[in-house]
Amino acid sequence: MMNIPKGTKDVLPSDSYKWQYVENAAREVAQLFHLKEIRTPTFEHTELFHRGVGDTTDVVTKEMYTFKDKGDRSITLKPEGTAGAARSFIENGMGNGVLPAKMFYITPAFRYERPQAGRLREFHQFGVEIFGAKGAQTDAEAILIADALLKKLGLKVKLYINSIGCPTCRAEYNKALKAFFAPHLENLCYDCKTRYEKNPLRLLDCKEEDCQKVNANAPLMLDYLCEDCKTHFEDLKKCLQLANVEYEINPRIVRGLDYYTRTVFEFVSTSIGAQGTVCGGGRYDGLIEQLGGNPTPAVGFAAGLERLLMVMEQSGVNAPEAPKPTVYLAGMDDECRKKAFAIACALRGSGVFAEIDHMDRSVKAQFKYADKIGAKYVAVIGGNELAEGVMNVKNMANGESEKVSFDGAVAYFSNN
Ligand code: HAM
């Protein structure tokens, strides 16, 4: 038997309505905030993620699905959506067009992680990227988009914000971090020794217990912000207050990707345990330039669809079920079935949700099946009905029956 690869999941036909509900909600919220959809390839040149996401991140060093294609090019399945959107922004000259460029995507993403509840190797993100606007009000807007989706889905989550400064103040902070970690180097994991040399901020993101113990007393970026970054953070807080969005400052959020500057934020649910972060994002003013474009400020976030669905389930929020057939047409014998088939064609042609027998079932068994799939009406065609040009229509909710002519079927079911 063939099995599904580890860390991946099927969305079965019986469950896909939940996904469609979340995706539709995301699309509706996106429209409300004037975001247009961008679709970028599932794979990109590996270098994009090395330069974009960062060489010292876990995502790039350990988790990427990278392979050589038949032309000997190094290709990587996208581990996230921001780098591809940024590449496309530059490549398509969007910076010369109308700014800000506000966009969203719903995309699969791939990370070679240890699978567990809420952590998969193929997962899906609803992401938002806003290019060209530098003010904290746009950071607030990104947060508000995520907040609007979470509220629309009826989910209770906590918003944490932080600022990780700009390259200027970060340089000072990195010095402080190095000074702090120097006496502890012996106790840190192998990876952290490299992080110490290359990118001290990454030390704060280590998952190892021993490293986390040391991290607990590390200096905080918030105490090292330059005046401009401080003002930006204050402005963000003001905007969130104006929008009536509750938040908590968590000075320990540094995010797992290298491109962030200033604002970072996460929405966390307490109901799904360890993988409680349903949404994360922030400002990334250096990324476009880093990838070869003109300096362009940007901010965005991504929410994991699997995690949103998990929180929905755990908090008892049900997606509305998929629509049920308006009518099931049952035929007594072959000739009647052909008539049922022809009427079903006419009904569907007029936009009526109709179903027929595909399994050569008896009329009794067809009734049972119609009931199971939740058909609102069952229309039976037997020999007598065929001769009279009518069908016997039963309303499954109240059990009442009436005769409806073949010619009147479209009008009858269009109005019922
Ligand atoms: P991220 O925090 O790496 O950020 O991922 C965003 C969200 O994707 C997470 O909060 C989580 O819900 C979901 N997620 C991440 N990894 C997995 C996984 N292995 N299994 C299931 N869900 C997962 C980014 O990807 C950034 N690109 C967000 C962003 C956009 N920042 C600015 N613009």
User: Could you tell me which of 242, 261, 265 has the C-alpha nearest to residue 161?
Assistant: 265
* Ligand 1 atom closest to the CA of 308, numbered from 1: 12
Ligand 1 mean position, distance from CA 43 (Å): 17
CB atoms within 10 A of CB 90: 18
| Residue 124 beta carbon below 6 angstroms from any ligand 1 atom | no
Per-residue confidence (pLDDT) for residue 275, from 0 to 100:
76
How far is ligand 1, taken at its centre, from the CA of residue 329, in Å? 47
Q: What is the pLDDT of residue 151?
A: 96
25-50 core/surface letters (b: 16 or more CB in 10 A; e: else): bbeebbeebebeebebeebbebebbb
Q: Where are the alpha helices (DSSP H) in 154-286?
A: 167-181, 190-198, 209-215, 227-242
pLDDT in the model for residue 29? 98
Radius of gyration of the chain (CA): 28
Q: Is the CB of 125 under 6 A from ligand 1?
A: yes
Instruction: Give domain 16-166+226-314's CATH architecture.
Output: 2-Layer Sandwich (3.30)
C-beta of 269 in contact with ligand 1 (< 6 A):
no
Q: Is the CB of 162 under 6 A from ligand 1?
A: no
- Establish whether domains 16-166+226-314 and 327-414 are of one fold: no
Q: For the chain, what is the largest distance between any 2 Cα atoms, rounded to a whole number of angstroms?
A: 95
205 within ligand 1 shell (Cβ under 6 A): no
Which residues are within 8 A (CB) of 60 and not within 5 positions of it... i.e. 6 or more apart? 49, 50, 53, 54, 79
Q: Is 264 in the pocket of ligand 1 (CB under 6 A)?
A: no
**Neighbour tally for 62: CB within 10 Å:** 11
For residue 266, report the distance from its CA to the centre of ligand 1, in Å.
10
What residues does each domain of the chain span?
16-166+226-314, 327-414
- Measuring from atom 29 of ligand 1, which residue has the nearest CA? 301
**What is the rounded distance in angstroms from the CA atom of residue 47 to the CA atom of residue 70?**
17
What is the atom index within ligand 1 of the atom nearest the CA of 267?
Answer: 10
Cα 223 to Cα 177, 252, 273, 388: the distances in Å are 12, 12, 30, 86
Top mutation candidate among 123, 129, 263 for ligand 1, by most atoms within 8 Å of CB? 123
Check if 256 has its Cβ closer than 6 Å to any atom of ligand 1: yes
Which residue do the tokens 């580890």 mark?
A: 6
pTM over 0.75: yes
Cα(12) to centroid of ligand 1, in Å? 23
**Which is the closest atom of ligand 1 to the Cα of 125?**
8
- Helix (H) / strand (E) element for 300: namely strand 298-304
Q: Which fold has domain 327-414?
A: Rossmann fold (3.40.50)
Mean pLDDT, consecutive 10-residue segments, the chain of 416 residues?
Answer: 97 97 98 98 98 91 96 98 98 97 98 95 98 98 98 95 96 94 90 90 88 92 97 98 97 93 95 84 98 98 97 93 96 96 97 97 96 97 96 97 97 92
User: Are 112 and 62 contacting, i.e. CB atoms less than 8 angstroms apart?
Assistant: yes
Tell me the torsion sign for CA atoms 28, 30, 34, 35. negative
**Ligand 1 pocket check for 281: Cβ under 6 Å:** yes
Contact 321, 19 (CB under 8 A): no
| CB atoms closer than 10 angstroms to residue 55 | 12
